[in-house]
Structure 1
């Protein structure tokens, strides 16, 4: 149902480098790239992450309560990608761990622009 999610960034090259390096283990790459917007994902037929310089050219601002959640397919990948995000310049917003016993495992970080992202695994 979701085609893509867009987040505002200050530096397109930095954002593309961060997200392509972070998500390459999931098969993601830059699919579509124009001056102020780029789509990152596996293909146009699957959900994508879009990074962009805001249309009004004002500074981007992460929404309070907004978050992108990505299911990489296992708890091990949640851990791996969380640590990779931190190594790439993200900041911790909740270390990897079991949030709901036997149901939800998650890890949270903020990208260099302050956007909140979660990696999670159900079950």
Structure 2
């Protein structure tokens, strides 16, 4: 089994779209669709979206919820961690060894937690 897609909520779709456009540009992943509520990015085996919640309530980050991205190297983990900070995200755990993985943690503009590991 593999994960089909992941969606994170946003309260500012335009800002979130700019953030993830720059974020995914690091991998050559481009937007495939955008409408008034959602923006999608997709590659051969990857799909991700930001969305204004369907119930029209404020988007909130999930406490304990995290999106994990597997990267090819420790350098890539460090580079992407720095990129997110440059884009206005926040550090939630500096790059370093954690158990058998080298990983880093960040929060996006809506406080969604992302993990990069190699």
Q: What is the TM-score when the length of structure 1 is the normalising length?
A: 0.91
Is 1:5 equivalent to 2:42 in the alignment?
no
> Which 4+ stretches in 1 moved above 4 angstroms?
none
**Separation in 2 of the partners of 1:39 and 1:28?**
10
* Structure 1: stretches of 5+ with no match in the other structure: none
Is 1:110 equivalent to 2:107 in the alignment?
yes
CA contact (8 A) 1:97 1:107 kept: yes
Partner residue in 1 for 2:64: 65
Partner residue in 2 for 1:79: 78
TM superposition shift of 1:72: 2.3
**Separation in 2 of the partners of 1:110 and 1:7?**
12
Superposition map of 1:19-98 within 5 A: 19-42=20-43, 45-98=44-97
* Corresponding pairs, count: 117
* Structure 2: stretches of 5+ with no match in the other structure: none
TM superposition shift of 1:23: 1.8
